Every structure is written in C-alpha cells, then in structure tokens.
Amino acid sequence: MSDPAATPAQGIWGRLPEWARPLNEERQGLGSRRLAETTILILIGVFLAVATVNDVVLQTHVNHRLSADLLTWRTLTGHDYINLDTEQDIKTHTTRDTVCGNVSPGAPGARAQLCLAMTGPVVSGMRTVSGGYYLSPYHPDLYANRYGCFGLPAQEGLCGRTSAPSGSPLDPPLPTGRP
C-alpha cells in the first residue's frame, strides 16, 4: 500500500522505508506529532549549542591560566626556559596548578627541578605562588621524590624526603605571593 502524500521513491529517498521518506503534504492528524518532534529537536540543538559554548569558554580560561603560570614561573626564577612541565589539579577540580622547570640550564628533567604551586586568579598576566618544592634530576613528580617543600606544599605535607638527595642542590626557598 502506497501513501499518495509520500514523495515518489526516487534517488536517495527511495532507499528509505516509506515511513521515513519526506512528504509532499502532511498526513491527516500528524501535525501535533511533528510539532512535538520539531520542538524536541530544537531543544536538543539549543542544549548542544550551550554546552559547546560552555566548553569553549572553560578551555579558554584554562589556557589563559596556564599561560599565566608559565610567565609567573619564568619571572620568579629568572629563567626564560621554554620546556616547563605544567600539571593541573584535576582530582579535586581546583585552579591550583604546578609548574616545574630546571634550576640550571639543561635538558628537561636532567637537572634538579623547582616546582611552584600557583593559586588564585590571573592578575596582570601572573598568578600567586603559594609555595613549591624541588625534584631530583631524572625523577618524576611523585611524593617520594619531592624535597625542600615550602609554603602551602609544606603545610600539606607533599614532600616525601626530609632532606635533599646527594647531588641535588637545595636552593633557598623562593618568596611566596605575587611576583
């Protein structure tokens, strides 16, 4: 049985089942169903648009914050290194970030590293340093490898070593706060 309101089975539409083909005219009594379907599709589209805009804005803020972290580390240490490691606090979803870089020139991680914890908003392109710690050369940023904690990391007990390992210089702690 063919519906006279359906379009002819031509081209790409001919491959679709009859109920899914576009119509030349609306079938009797189905106007409210199409109105509900259209409304639902519009609501889904608005929801996806809002979610996309929200994600773009969130990522823009994160990128702005991470750029400020790098500038703060470079300003405070006086080292204009390009290869710095940044780590975001994704476990507790805070804006506290950690930036690590060598204390002397060399390949990334080949020298003792200074890691600074950044908190707070971006003000004039910089963030507040809440403290930091040191890492031995060639060691990942893990609890057992950290030493020389100062500021907030020292208060939270984030260092596993109480003293610097042999061959790792312990520079005096840097001042905390905004550089």
pLDDT by residue (tens digit) across 143-176?
A: 888 888 888 888 888 888 777 766 665 555 565 5
Joined together, the tokens standing for residue 18 give: 């009859």
Q: How far is CA 57 from CA 31, 51, 70, 101, in A?
A: 39, 10, 20, 28
8 domain-assigned: no
Is the CA virtual torsion 140, 144, 149, 152 positive or negative?
Answer: positive
19 domain-assigned: no
70, pLDDT greater than 80: yes
3-state secondary structure of 157: coil
36 domain-assigned: yes
Question: What is the phi/psi pair of residue 7, to 5°?
Answer: -70, 160
Residue 41 lies in domain:
28-179
85 CB neighbour count, 10 Å cutoff:
15
pLDDT at 173: 57
Q: What domain count does the chain have?
A: 1
141 domain-assigned: yes
pLDDT tier for residue 43 given thresholds of 50, 70 and 90: very high
37 domain-assigned: yes
80 domain-assigned: yes
4 domain-assigned: no
85 domain-assigned: yes
pTM score above 0.85 = no
